[in-house]
Structure 1
């Protein structure tokens, strides 16, 4: 297993343990949800609590999206770029769980502290100018 994939697995496990830790173990009545939980367990080594917050009907689709885009090394964007984008969005939502996860995942994918700072600064610049342009009702 590549080092970055192993490290990402460990990060997901750590984040899952720390967030929403009062949730019960993943149990599904829906067959597609059961299959998704088994695949999540096999891929990540555990089922992060964020998945346990979803209804059974949503789990298979949510996992397919994450596995197909975020965790897929064969997409147009590399892992570092994806995680820096996730950090930029998480910084603006804001989502502390997401900020922690995407910062650590970006580092595991080779992002430097300077790249992380610049990502957050770019997110702030876009948010700032979006506010000005929307508030001023500037036409395209």
Structure 2
């Protein structure tokens, strides 16, 4: 475990106490995952370089203290082929969400990722259309304040009959 100075630990402890409210907070350090700090930054930059073949310039705009954790999450989910979803499916989901946000940067990158993972133009179009359909019906259900329990009852019967 890396060495943390007294100030860092005290600051972390104060934050956790505030989050816990009036209750006393005692978490054994052996089981408490400590956050990544900037001293992991250089190793993260090296890993990004190794994984991606370069370090995108926007990385320099990301807070140094947050980069190790953000990269770890991205690498473990999006870049890993050892997850429940195959890379093409993850890229299509990401593209569909990006189209709804909307995020021009993500749409471009996710389209490239989907194509690299073997997605056809038709699959990309269908993923985006599914996002649009979901947004459309979500707007209707929420805007018309459709009763959720009735909705579940209605579709529960309809869905089992459709099988």
Match of 2:120 in 1: 112
Shift of 1:85: 0.4
Equivalent position of 2:65 in the other structure: 57
Question: Aligned-pair distance for 1:54?
Answer: 1.4
Deviations 1:32-80 (A, max 9, x none): 1121111101111111234332111110011001100000011110000
The partner residue of 2:88 within 76, 80, 87 is 80
What does residue range 1-140 of structure 1 map to in structure 2 within 5 Å?
30-140=38-148
Q: How many residues align?
A: 112
Q: Which has the larger radius of gyration?
A: 2
Instruction: Say what the alpha-carbon RMSD is for the aligned residues.
Output: 1.3
Give 1:97 deviation, angstroms: 0.7
Q: What TM-score do you get using the length of structure 1 for normalisation?
A: 0.76
The runs of at least 4 aligned residues of structure 1 exceeding 3 Å deviation read: none
Superposed CA deviations along residues 76-114 of structure 1, whole A, max 9, x for unmatched, are 100000000010000000001100010111011010000
Where in structure 2 are there 5+ consecutive unaligned residues?
1-36, 149-163
Q: Considering Cα pairs closer than 8 Å and 6+ residues apart, tell me whether 1 or 2 has the greater RCO.
A: 1
- SS where residue 146 of structure 2 aligns? coil
What TM-score do you get using the length of structure 2 for normalisation? 0.66
Show structure 1 runs of 5+ residues with no match: 1-28
